Structure 1
Amino acid sequence: MSEAISYEDAWARTDKFDPPAIFDELRKERPLARMVYPDGHVGWIATSHELARQVLSDPKFSHNLEIGHFPVTKYGGPVPQFPAMPGMFIHMDPPEQTRFRKLLTREFTGRTINQLAPRVEAVAAEQIKHMREQGDSADLLESFANPLVLRVLSDLIGLPYSERDRYAEAPAVMNNPFGDAQESMAAFAQVGAFIHETIARKKAEPGDDILSRLIASGELTDEELGNITALLLFAGYETTEGALTVGVFALLHHPEQLAVLRADPSKIDDAVEEILRYITVNQYEIFRTALEDLELGGHAVKKGETVTVSLPAANRDPEKFGCPAELDFGRDTAGHVAFGYGVHQCIGQNLARLQLRVGLRALLEAFPDLRLAVPADEVPLRTHGSVFAVKSLPVSW
């Protein structure tokens, strides 16, 4: 058997937009490779598009945290196993997962989300006005992407944006792999307390939002309501913010594709899908645990072993996408796994697409000469953590 790689090797991103180079080698020679996890557990990593979809759709694999092994360390050590949290359905298996997900499915259909377009467009316009008021340059992350995503998401969920100081910073604190465990616990506790205050308010004065409708259904306990609300916030905030900001960075770094989109704005949907495939900000913590002995990719995977799925590697598989390292708005992106695959595929993907579509279009229309304000190599990247992102994106116009 080939030597197992370290989990550290799999996250050694060396370029602005490209996943670790080791993925190309693994995908070609051993698309299912042994990997040593931080706690010493020897599991696997899948890097091909075919294996990624197979693992993520096979009910013989579990996403239950009580038996899984995290593919990263946090707070200076391995992440321990811990009991499932009521309502946190992202780490449940069917049929428990199905019960919670069904309550939210109707909130995120394409038709439902598209009705939010005027609101997203209005927020984008307000943030562009704010950018103009700063002069001829700004940090796109701080001035546009962050408020656009957080305002829209907060309104949809039912969290008052005016009180964002009580919940907006928690995802970054909790997702910082180099952070302090006590600070993370405190951040989660603060968000939890605020969400439960909000639940009490919504019970007294319901609004037109997801939280109010979940309360009205009468099917969830307050603990389940709180954890579902936190999940929607944590899953939908940094991922979309990262995709929008890194997406703009990729556009500005590829002037030929930017020119294609400016020449034909109707290609915006194709551009969004290709950007999602190309940057794949959900870079790790996608893993499953075998519930029984099984065969996968010609290898015997034992019960209890964990298979990490690299979405960035799968989206750069040349067997699925020709010349995958190129950003190409003319390619067929059908089947990309930027939002995962199977029963745990991102429930909020239609919202993310809408925010990317509206955000990119608004920026290109408002700033015909939008450009980076610093050399591309000086844009500070956030390469560690579950979401690939930039720390800031200085632009000028």
Structure 2
Amino acid sequence: MDYPIARRPGFDPPAEFASLRVDAPVCPVSLRHGQQAHLVTRYDDVRAVLRDHDRFSSDPSTPGFPQLRPVVDRKAAPGSFLVTDPPEHTRYRRMVTGEFTVRRMEALRIEVQRITDERLAALRSGPRPADLVSAFALPVPSDVICLLLGVPVADQEFFSTRSRAHLDRSLSAERVRAALDELHAYLADLIRARRLDPRDDLISRLVREPGLTDEEAVGMAVLLLVGGHETTANSIALSVLALQREPAAWEALVAAPDLVDNAVEELLRFLSPVHHGVVRAVAGEATVGGTVLAAGEGVIASLFAANRDPAAFPDPDRLDLRRDARAHLAFGSGVHQCVGQLLARLEMRVALRALVTHLPTLRPAVPFEDVEFKFDAPIYGLRSLPITW
């Protein structure tokens, strides 16, 4: 079986996932570069892989590391804690964890609300139909991460286009590498400027960390910048479309906006935007789902398949806004669980609450069949969503 498995427009995972969970929960698959790996689809197995950083490595230099991107990663980029193992991962992660605490997110709520209100006001005052993606879902988290990092909002278009190219798996390795090089060069210039003229932003605080090189700071900034807006932007747009496909769900939030917080957890479970999964290399013999894996083999832990596992979530293919879905794996699990998950939740809650409160008659301006989904990216989403009200 080739992986990734082709998807159909909509919100459900490929149908193969359901049968794999039953018949082949650890299934051999072939990847784009001719590699072989094992696809893991059951909730308990996926969670176990993600939480065992001793036997499952995130480092691309570990033999067997599955390569899903057009660019083959031979080693971890300096500072990129997403693809490093402890103790290096622990060192990097410690530098940013304090930026994303519950207390810091509560302090940031006012700014997130301000940005959301401003973007929504601009959307409402503009022409109809409007594109929810370019006018709201993408700018809100982009503005927020710019504010946090200290990136000028005026440069949002530059980093957004490079970020999307970096994540577009339909592009050639050369185009992906060029986009990433431009992003690195931009952030390297910004980091040098902050060393000379520190401000009250995350990058300024990063460069004050003892022993952190400019190269490491660039790697961390790239990860935070790309991860800090792409996943949330896609989640907001997908959530709106999913709710519109279930009119009773949208109306339930319009009638009771306080339901939004719980709805966000269910939407994250139901949509699982990191739809290609999380890759690991087997660093030491391990047994997963009854299958013995040897060191040097590769594993793809499917967050999407795990979040639709009926053993973890009864009737998993139904969007139930009152479900207790907090145990979902949309943000991963273990030491590599998304460092910005509290920020993503805050942005989604504020954005959806604003939409159902101030734009209750929102509806798609095109038939569902004409909505363009992003299939060739590790983060599932929409290229655009024309709406009216």
Instruction: Please give the TM-score of this superposition, normalised by the length of structure 1.
Output: 0.94
Stretch deviating more after TM superposition (281-290 or 89-98): 281-290
Partner of 1:291: 283
- Which one of 3, 22, 27 corresponds to residue 21 of structure 2? 27
> Pairwise CA RMSD of aligned residues?
1.4
- For residue 316 of structure 2, give the secondary structure of its aligned residue in structure 1: coil
Partner of 1:60: 55
State the distance in 2 between where 1:285 and 1:277 align: 13
**One-letter amino acid matched to 1:342:** G
Gaps of 5+ in 2: none
Partner of 1:342: 334
Structure 1 residues 272-319: Cα deviation after superposition (integer angstroms, max 9, x where no partner): 000100001001251111112222211111111111011110000000
Partner of 2:6: 12
Report deviation, 1:38.
Answer: 2.8
Q: How does 1:229-248 map to 2 (within 5 A)?
A: 229-248=221-240
- Which one of 20, 41, 44 corresponds to residue 38 of structure 2? 44
State the distance in 2 between where 1:307 and 1:194 align: 34
State the distance in 2 between where 1:353 and 1:323 align: 24
Partner of 1:200: 192
Report deviation, 1:216.
Answer: 2.2
State the distance in 2 between where 1:228 and 1:73 align: 19
Contact 2:60 2:76 in 1 (8 A): yes
Task: Assess, with a 3 A threshold, how the Cα gap between structure 1 residues 41 and 163 changes in structure 2: closer, same or farther.
Answer: closer
Stretch deviating more after TM superposition (62-71 or 102-111): 62-71
- Which one of 166, 171, 174 corresponds to residue 179 of structure 1? 171
Contact 1:71 1:308 in 2 (8 A): no
Contact 1:37 1:69 in 2 (8 A): no
Contact 2:67 2:73 in 1 (8 A): no
State the distance in 1 between where 2:27 and 2:253 align: 39
Give the count of matched residue pairs: 387
Task: Assess, with a 3 A threshold, how the Cα gap between structure 1 residues 80 and 185 changes in structure 2: closer, same or farther.
Answer: closer
Contact 1:71 1:285 in 2 (8 A): no
Task: Assess, with a 3 A threshold, how the Cα gap between structure 1 residues 187 and 73 changes in structure 2: closer, same or farther.
Answer: closer
Identity across aligned pairs (percent)?
A: 36
- Which one of 335, 358, 362 corresponds to residue 350 of structure 2? 358
In the alignment, is residue 302 of structure 1 matched against residue 294 of structure 2? yes
State the distance in 2 between where 1:270 and 1:285 align: 24
**One-letter amino acid matched to 1:298:** G
In the alignment, is residue 95 of structure 1 matched against residue 87 of structure 2? yes
State the distance in 2 between where 1:294 and 1:155 align: 43
Structure 1 residues 213-236: Cα deviation after superposition (integer angstroms, max 9, x where no partner): 112233311111111101111212
Partner of 2:149: 157
- For residue 17 of structure 1, give the secondary structure of its aligned residue in structure 2: coil
Task: Assess, with a 3 A threshold, how the Cα gap between structure 1 residues 319 and 338 changes in structure 2: closer, same or farther.
Answer: same
- For residue 216 of structure 1, give the secondary structure of its aligned residue in structure 2: coil
Contact 2:120 2:136 in 1 (8 A): yes
- Which one of 200, 204, 218 corresponds to residue 212 of structure 1? 204
**One-letter amino acid matched to 1:66:** S
State the distance in 2 between where 1:72 and 1:96 align: 23
Partner of 2:66: 70
In the alignment, is residue 327 of structure 1 matched against residue 322 of structure 2? no
Contact 2:35 2:67 in 1 (8 A): no
